[in-house]
Copies of this chain bind each other. A is one copy, B any other.
Amino acid sequence: MPTLSDRVVNTFSSPFRKYLPLAQEAKDNGIEVIHLNIGQPDFSMPIESMEDLWVDRQPFVPYGIAEGESALREAWIGYYEKFGVKLGFEDLMVTTGASEAILFTMLAIADPGEEIIVPEPFYANYNGFAQMAGVRLVPLFSSIEDGFPIPALESFEAAITTRTRGILLSNPNNPSGKVYDEQTLQSLATLAQKHSLYLIVDEAYSEFVYEDFRFFSSMRLKNVNDHVIVIDSISKRFNACGTRVGAIITRNHELHEGMVKYARLRLSPPMLGQEFARRALQLPAAYHDNVRTEFSVRREYLLSRLGQMTEVRFHAPEGAFYLFVQLPIDDSDRFCAWLLTDFSHQGKTVMLSPGTGFYATPGKGKDEVRLAYILDREKLGEAMDCLEVALSVYPGIMEKVLVPTL
């Protein structure tokens, strides 16, 4: 029998989806599973964007341009003006979701065995893409106790070796909800410049910031054009996760040209999704004001419910739509699986993402879970009821005493 490659055997399993078979079994047993495990919002698109998506064009779907359709690139560049960013046409390449943008970036900036520094916790699938690319992620820990601050510049300096090729983070941060200000980003960019590194900033959640926090796009950073790579996506922004449309934005045109080779290999991004994206990116800004208001309500509600639970620790998210929460549990993987296999409350249970997947350091995240506040308040209420009851009956509850913070 032929064997599998070592790399596929060792590839990290996505924490968002690894327990889907267990969720299906629960559903088959008549239990309603409330999905807070994945950032799949429930808001609707203005219907104009879905109507007649293709019928006014030719009755087949040809290959497009490898770098993305020109009209979409122009719409995306226009969209970035709302963040005070002026882009040239060659600065933006369309990809098959941010997923592909991350993979192309890793392949193009680092050779196998080279390193990318990433503050943890981080978007879990960076782990898997790094494994596909043979790149080593070097994590810098930031703690829930301190509210997930960006690690000190000295920690970055100490982590930089001859193999380091870049620094990667998401802003707003998934899963911590941290929003980074201009000064923080500029200091990281200056550090990247000093060491001839790339600064890669994943801006998929740019529309989702709360209270007085403001999103600052890293494409506005000064004097570091060759160093900055922004990853973007329409998935969360327009509730269009399934269109698979993202982008790589950089003013480093040598890097852009290198990645175009990968783009040409896979021929073109999905054309139907691109047509959707082109329409969506031209929606008026008021559209997101409404969406943001709704997410703010949900966020407040979750903060209030979690604040009433004992020995549950979290930091109020400044952006994105996740809460990364410390629970009094022995093992978040065991707990998330148990919720699906051994627990229900009034015929319902909740699916969460175990925290371990959001770290590169083994052992971290064992008492943390990520939950996405992407459902309406009623469903969130049922999910919180489940969590509360679950924490009172889960056999792996730890008896340590934690101080909840808000």
Contacts and interface: CB of A to CB of B under 8 A. Distances in A.
A165 B197 CA distance: 36
Contacts of A134: 112, 134
A272 B261 contact: no
B2 A109 contact: yes
A180 interface: no
A242 B59 contact: no
A232 B309 CA distance: 51
A258 interface: yes
B107 A255 contact: no
State how many copies of this chain the complex holds: 2
Contacts of A132: 107, 262, 265
A108 B243 contact: no
B239 A61 contact: yes
A166 to B, nearest CB: 8
A9 interface: yes
13 contacts: A5-B107, A6-B111, A8-B261, A11-B261, A13-B264, A14-B261, A44-B60, A47-B55, A96-B244, A99-B267, A103-B266, A112-B112, A243-B272
Interface of A: 1-9, 11-14, 16-18, 38, 40-41, 43-47, 50-51, 53-55, 58-64, 66, 96-97, 99-100, 103, 107-112, 114, 125, 128-129, 132, 134, 165-166, 192, 196-198, 226-227, 238-244, 252, 254-255, 258-259, 261-262, 264-273, 276
